[in-house]
Amino acid sequence: MVRRLVALAALALLASSCGSGAAGNADAFRGAVITPPRSVAQVVLPDAADGNRPFTFRAEKGHLLLVYFGYTDCPDICPTTLSDIRKALRDPAMAGHAGKIDLAMVTIDPEVDSGKLLTRFLDSFHPGAHALRTDDPDALAAAAKAFGATYSVVDPGHNLPREVGHSAITYGVDDKGNLVAQWTFGMPSADFAHDFAMILDGAELRAEQ
Amino acid sequence: MKTRMLVSTVACCTLVVVGAACGSSGSTPKADKTTTSAPAVKGGVSVTGAWARMSPAGAANGAAYMTLTSPTEDKLLSASVDAGVAKKTEIHETVAAGSPMGSDDSAADDSSSTMPATSAPMMSSDTTMAGQMTMRPIDSLELPAGKAVELKPGGHHIMFVDLVKPLTVGSTLKVTLTFENAEPMVVDVPVKEG
């Protein structure tokens, strides 16, 4: 229930911040602040970009870790978000913070996404990104649950294409392994950059009033 | 089932709010103004702002976006590219997962009877706001007379299925569009970083 309230607050925030755009309160967080932050550091998944060594959901010291649940066959939502993040890293607001963004994508379609494929895919957007893939459906479900992400892979059969759905949300995790913020689909890259810089600056995260 | 309904309902609401508040990503050109500035091609459909996103390494699929304005009521029936680019091209819509077929404009409908039958969906049991989205092919895209219809990230897109080679920045795709009434047309679609 508490989480749902947070979610509703996040929606309200999103609506208000998007409506007023960059002209609004410059100090207000553009995404949704997770209050209080909740730990995701207990979740571990194999990192195919790192020889399948276990990856803990925690940013490197002084960094921000962005986490996304998606799949490589996704031509629209996933690459749009990953492109917007890539663009955000070049935004003037991110000056002085170059190299402090870690990126991890969890494939929700491990049947299709090999570790190698996912690693190559992510390298197109963010070299050094963590390619998280597990064959254990329980481990994947547990990871998604920790973030509040959902996904579904439905095979209708009869040679029809599989229908894959996933939370189109980018999650922000600090170097203590706390989920501190999240951004819904469609966040302009300048707003991403603004929020990333705020978190990396250690600023107090608060919603626009 | 109850869990899934809840998730879908919340996801639907999310899409509506997101759509209203900031329907276009930062990288999407605004289409609102094209209604009046569309080239006056008598009986033809005008196309503006066409682009395709470069395909990430290893990606099987790609997407193209554009704004279509038809002077008279029409339908986009198909899009196609050279077989050397992709094996198949489809018109897709991205919607909140679980929303009823062809009703993305009324995605807030939370009637449980419209839930599609699913075969063993894998889903987290958490019912937190999920913003879950999915995409599916559509048979045609309505083009109301004089109205700019925007294909954009998170909405409708032309999907290149099974790319034969990666879409690289700087190249231009020739995309053939067919309509119910208007003559077929070939559109230059530059590949951009996105």
Residues, chain B: 194
pLDDT tens digit string along A44-57? 999 999 999 999 99
Q: What is the model's pLDDT at position B43?
A: 57
Q: Angle CA(B187)–CA(B140)–CA(B93) in degrees, nearest 5?
A: 85
Query: Within the 16-35 window of chain A, which residues sit less than 8 Å (CB to CB) from chain B?
Result: 18-19
ipTM of the complex: 0.79
Q: What is the model's pLDDT at position B67?
A: 98
Would you give per-residue pLDDT tens digits along chain B (194 residues)? 343 433 333 333 333 333 333 333 434 444 333 333 444 354 589 999 999 999 999 999 999 999 999 999 999 999 999 999 999 999 999 987 654 443 333 333 333 333 333 333 333 333 333 578 888 899 999 999 999 999 999 999 999 999 999 999 999 999 999 999 999 999 999 999 98
Q: Which of A117, A152, A169 sits opposite B123 (nearest CB)?
A: A152
Q: From the CB of residue A25, how many other CB atoms can be counted at a distance below 10 Å?
A: 13
What is the number of alpha carbons within 13 Å of residue A163 lying toward its C-beta? 26
- Tell me the pTM: 0.76
Q: What is the model's pLDDT at position B44?
A: 86
Give the tokens for residue B141: 């895209």
Residues in chain A, pLDDT under 70: 1-26, 207-209
Q: Which residues of chain A make contact with B154, given a CB cutoff of 8 A?
A: 76-77, 80, 168, 185-186
Q: Provide CB contacts within 8 A for A65, sequence distance 6+.
A: A57, A58, A59, A102, A103, A104, A172, A173, A174, A175
Q: What is the model's pLDDT at position B98?
A: 52
Q: Is A39 on the interface with B (CB under 8 A)?
A: no
